[in-house]
């Protein structure tokens, strides 16, 4: 089934390299659960932040099923030409939801600095080029992965 965009807003998913490897190492049902959840968010008319389960430091936590948690950074409303882009940077997949709360409470400032640089759009001249460079996934790409 092909989706028809209802507006000039587009949402893309960008996986950190380590996170993509982690996703590929999961069993097929968990991969499908995660990709289906991301497809639901990307294809929705709602902003990605409306799907946020919780926030820890500057991370946005999304759920995928009962146990999977996706540690992300959501960047919304990036204008370019007549379009507006929303990006979901997937930084870590916790497929068992067994994180240590105290470790998350002491979020590393160096990691926060890296996150700020990775998700800064100030120096990006072309969002389209940036998306291509980062191998960003659209709703259509996620549908292809699921089929």
Residue-level pLDDT, tens digit, the chain, 147 residues = 455 544 588 999 999 888 888 899 999 999 999 999 999 999 999 999 999 999 887 889 999 988 888 989 999 998 888 889 999 999 888 887 665 554 554 455 555 665 666 667 777 888 888 899 889 999 999 999 998
State the distance between the two ends of the chain, measured CA to CA, in whole angstroms: 11
pTM over cut 0.85: no
Q: What distance in Å separates the CA atoms of residue 59 and residue 88, rounded to the nearest whole number?
A: 11
- Residue 7: which residues within 8 A CB-CB, separation 6 or more? 45
């Amino acid at each position: 089934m092909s989706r028809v965009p209802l507006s000039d807003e587009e949402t893309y998913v960008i996986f950190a390299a380590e996170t993509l490897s982690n996703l590929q190492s999961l069993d097929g049902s968990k991969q499908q659960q995660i990709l289906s959840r991301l497809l639901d968010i990307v294809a929705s008319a709602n902003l990605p932040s409306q799907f946020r389960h919780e926030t820890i430091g500057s991370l946005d936590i999304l759920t995928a099923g009962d146990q999977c948690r996706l540690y992300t950074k959501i960047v919304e409303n990036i204008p370019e030409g007549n379009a507006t882009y929303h990006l979901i940077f997937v930084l870590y997949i916790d497929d068992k939801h067994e994180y240590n709360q105290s470790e998350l409470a002491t979020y590393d400032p160096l990691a926060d600095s890296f996150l700020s640089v990775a998700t800064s759009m100030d120096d990006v001249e072309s969002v389209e080029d940036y998306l291509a460079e980062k191998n960003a996934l659209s709703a259509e790409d996620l549908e292809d992965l699921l089929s």
